[in-house]
């Protein structure tokens, strides 16, 4: 009797992938660019502003989600 592979095995080795691994390439390029930028004089300032913009972006997304939830809760239901 042949045992079936686990889900974890199937997730990594289950089927053949086709095409160019764009996500992997993007992650490697961003990591290398970040390492090069961190070594320059501009790196600290750029990291500071990127950090602030990330916090602002997350706050706007959270605020938008709260507004959407309020609008959905307060809106009267239609007929079914």
Structure tokens given for 34: 């970040």
> Which is more confident, 7 or 69?
69
Q: How many CA atoms lie within 13 A of 22 on its CB side?
A: 2
> pLDDT over 90 for what percent of the chain?
31
Query: C-alpha 71: how far from its chain's center?
Result: 26
The per-residue pLDDT for range 6-53, each reduced to its tens digit, is 777 666 665 666 777 888 899 999 899 888 888 888 888 888 888 899
> Rounded to 5 degrees, what are φ and ψ at 71?
-60, -40
**Measured distance CA(70)–CA(63) in Å, rounded:** 11
Residue spans per domain, the chain = 22-74
């Amino acid at each position: 009797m042949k045992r079936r592979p686990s889900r974890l095995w199937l997730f990594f080795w289950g089927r053949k992938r086709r095409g160019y691994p764009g996500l992997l390439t993007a992650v490697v390029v961003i990591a290398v660019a970040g390492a090069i930028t961190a070594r320059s004089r501009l790196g600290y300032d750029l990291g500071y502003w990127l950090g602030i913009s990330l916090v602002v972006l997350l706050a706007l997304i959270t605020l938008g989600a709260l507004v959407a939830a309020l609008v959905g809760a307060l809106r009267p239901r239609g007929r079914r």
